[in-house]
Structure 1
Amino acid sequence: MFQQELENGIRIRVLEQSDIDAYHNLIMEAKDELKEWLTVSEKVATKEQTAENIAYQMKVNDPVPTLFMIEFENQLVGQISFHTVDDTNQSGEIGYWLLKAYQGHGIMTKALNFLITYGFMTLKFHRLEMKIAKGNTKSHLLAKRLGFRQEGVLKEAKYLNGQFIDYIVYGLLEQDK
């Protein structure tokens, strides 16, 4: 199993089939906060759906992981990934989320710094992207703190919570890191 110890009790690791209960509970705990910006909680409403989702994620991670869980003090607290990989153009789009109780403590910054380095060094990406909902202020600040530059706006790009939402595109090139 791939895992990387960061600092201050933070570990990055791949999701395993044995994580069904813990992952399902994590999503259910985060459901209300996730649905504001993401659709992940709709995909794992039952434990059966969670098992299917984990099997899919494990398949995506074979042979080279692109989706990781964030653990803090041995407890699952979030997820980071390249949820879109473009081998031809050597790029990846970053996705992430963290339980609200763990936000504001540098956990996501450390986790994404790992993912950025992993993307450029291991996956040999030339470019990374983040697409962030217009009103998600914390994520916009995080992208800028990590060195991403705003590149444009995708008008009404996602249908979320009964309305179309604009997404801001941020990019980071390997030579700019």
Structure 2
Amino acid sequence: MKFTYKIDEKTELKMLDLQESEQLFYLTIGSKETLREWLPFIDFTQKVTDTQNFIQSTMKQYSENNGFQAGIWYEGKMAGVIGFHKIDWNNKSTSIGYWLSNDYVGLGLMTKSVKAFIDYAIKDINLNRVEIRAAIGNKKSRAIPERLGFTEEGCVREAEWLYDHYVDHVVYGMLAKDWLNKNKIKRV
């Protein structure tokens, strides 16, 4: 069964599918200059087949029970991507990555999408920890975990190579007990 999650009347998350390769490719290319500042894969996304290969790798990820990637859909159009990097089932933890097209920034879509992914991770698949890492200078990505009440746990120096330089990452963590208590919800 493929993952779908209706957030509200205008917004839903759907697992990426090969049928959406072209749409995702053009969405990525349309925001290339902005996304390139923080995402190392942008220069390697040059053809629709590159996006097809990415989606196929996410389908493999899902088939191996190691997380998945979902399109963020707003008013019937893809607006961005959110996903679990991998799931550590032994330690019941995961990390989340995300990006949004320039055309959809400022609508609250990413905050709602990340919240939905945390709910799913903690309530539905019983994980204990969700982590988000963002480059120190990436204020928009850092605002999401800060807005959602994550704990800033520290800095990993030179954590990622971005084209011609290293960037430090701020690590944010959310524990199940804190998320459940904060949102006054129970596990399924």
TM-score for both structures, normalised by structure 2: 0.88
2:96 aligned with 1:94, yes or no? yes
Q: 1:148-167 maps to which residues of 2 (within 5 A)?
A: 148-167=150-169
User: 1:44, CA displacement in angstroms?
Assistant: 2.6
Q: Distance in 2 between matches of 1:89 and 1:69?
A: 27
User: Contact 2:21–2:52 (CA<8 Å) still a contact in 1?
Assistant: yes
Aligned CA distance change for structure 1 residues 88 and 43 (closer, same or farther; 3 Å): farther
Match of 1:44 in 2: 45
2:171 corresponds to 1:169: yes
Contact 1:85 1:92 in 2 (8 A): yes
User: Helix, strand or coil for the counterpart of 1:61?
Assistant: helix
Cα distance in 1 for residues equivalent to 2:107 and 2:157: 32
Hey, what's the Cα distance between the residues in 2 that align with 1:141 and 1:27?
A: 21
Distance 1:166 1:63 in 2: 30
The percent identity for this pair of structures is: 32
Residue 8 of structure 1 deviates from its aligned partner by 4.3
Q: Deviations over 1:100-156 (max 9, x none)?
A: 221111111111111000011222110010111000112222211111111011011
Which residue of the partner structure matches residue 128 of structure 1?
130
Would the aligned equivalents of 1:35 and 1:161 in 2 still touch at CA under 8 Å?
Answer: no
How far the C-alpha of 1:159 sits from its partner, in A, is 1.2
SS of match in other structure, 1:170: strand
SS at match of 1:89: coil
Q: 17-26 vs 37-46, which deviates more? A: 37-46
Which aligned runs of 4 or more in structure 1 are off by greater than 6 angstroms? none
Aligned residues: CA RMSD: 1.5
Uncovered stretches (5+) of structure 1, i.e. residues with no partner: none
Distance 2:73 2:103 in 1: 13
Q: Distance in 1 between matches of 2:175 and 2:111?
A: 18
Please tell me whether the aligned partners of residues 72 and 79 of structure 2 are also in contact (alpha carbons under 8 angstroms): yes
Task: Quote the Cα distance in structure 1 between the aligned partners of 2:56 and 2:163.
Answer: 27
Which deviations, in whole Å up to 9, do the C-alpha atoms of 1:74-115 show, x marking residues without a partner?
111101111132111110011011112211111111111110
How far apart are the structure 2 equivalents of 1:31 and 1:123?
34
**8 Å Cα contact 1:128/1:171 also seen in 2:** yes
- The answer to whether the 8 A contact 2:79-2:101 is kept is yes
Contact 1:44-1:53 within 8 A present in 2 as well: no
